[in-house]
Structure 1
């Protein structure tokens, strides 16, 4: 898949990008875990998200936050990384001016950034998050959450207790018109060790369910 270098707000950012099918492919941007704890765009969950969307004809981008790999800059505790994500989405839109929709997905720290991006970019119509660090960061900005989405969590996550994620999901689910699909994987740790197959099955099933109405409408319009 093509390596890309694009301009962020504070320097160049390194990514991997595939262009989608047809003249109006939807977009998906994938965000990696914590840069100071070994997180990169080559994380296995980031790869899994990337290929899920690629197989469904999306234009997909995964990239390294500032200070990771060949991306310029230094870690900024989320503020700079959110600007990186916004720049990445801007870059994607410049190469897909007629895109038919937009999704965001993230793992751990990347899931926190993904939810912030969701709040700032109304064109994002769906999200998928894994290992959401609900106990480590303030998610009060999700008031209200603008889009429905999927949250997958390991039942034995040693970073974020399941109870803290359940509380957030319960709060978000009370909003009218928003549906949060929440799945816990029994015996699974924060890194989904030995549970990637089940993780991918849940995510791909959710994507297909969400995308089916759009594909049916397209078929009827032809």
Structure 2
């Protein structure tokens, strides 16, 4: 994503997991800065072209960097250099949990607060991983779901401070599906008028919404 992106491989339950790690920089000179938090991001559906380099995923990473976070994007099993094969969501949640554990155990990250985000199918995975970790008393400090896959997946309930952003004209996950999921939770949903699933032409706005919502220090 930038000159400082580090590509690495972590060990996961299905084999190697390919990751891309970005560190925040100091504007003057572009030197690496000490991160204030760790952010793990889950990409959209592997069987429909989703990868860690998806533009919405990269936009989430840029939002994290703007906030001073170390960001970690990763490929689900069977995508890119990640080993394994599609596992109907079960193994993909396990992949996310493995990346979260390894990223939090990395040098300098153990003491950092951490946040979790996901786009589309990745939103389902992020919400599911957060639920599993919450049950174990190890929940993320913040959770962001961008156009979460509420139509085809059973997305669990999430904390009230979860950031949910959806396009009004989403033709992949209809806005109505996400509102139906959010309504019983009395969960606010930020709707961008006229925008489709991939936020074409509005990625800068998406980034600014995440930065604005999460600008308060952890």
Which TM-score bucket, shorter chain as reference? 0.7 to 0.9
Q: What is residue 18 of structure 1 aligned with on the other side?
A: 22
1:7 to 8, 11, 32: 11
For these two proteins, the number of residue pairs brought into alignment is: 200
**C-alpha spacing 1:116/1:33, structure 2 compared with 1 (3 Å):** same
1: CA distance, partners of 2:190 / 2:161: 14
Q: Report if aligned partners of 1:3, 1:17 keep a CA contact under 8 Å in 2.
A: yes
Q: Which moved more, 1:194-203 or 1:107-116?
A: 194-203
**Higher helix proportion, which one?**
1
1:112-191 equivalences under 5 Å are 112-121=124-133, 122-139=138-155, 141-142=156-157, 145-146=158-159, 148-173=161-186, 180-191=187-198
1:68-83 equivalences under 5 Å are 68-83=79-94
TM normalised by structure 1 equals: 0.84
Give the match's secondary structure for 2:214.
helix
Residues 86-131 of structure 1, C-alpha deviations (whole Å, 9 max, x = no match): 00001111111211x1111111000000000110113312111111
Q: Unpaired segments of 5 or more residues in structure 2? A: 25-32
Q: Report if aligned partners of 1:33, 1:110 keep a CA contact under 8 Å in 2.
A: yes
User: Which stretches of structure 1, 4 residues or more, deviate above 2 A after TM superposition?
Assistant: 18-22
Give the match's secondary structure for 1:71.
coil
TM normalised by structure 2 equals: 0.86
Q: Unpaired segments of 5 or more residues in structure 1? A: 174-179, 215-222
**C-alpha spacing 1:158/1:190, structure 2 compared with 1 (3 Å):** same
Residues 1:50 and 2:61 are matched in the alignment: yes
Q: Report if aligned partners of 1:82, 1:113 keep a CA contact under 8 Å in 2.
A: yes
**C-alpha spacing 1:58/1:147, structure 2 compared with 1 (3 Å):** farther
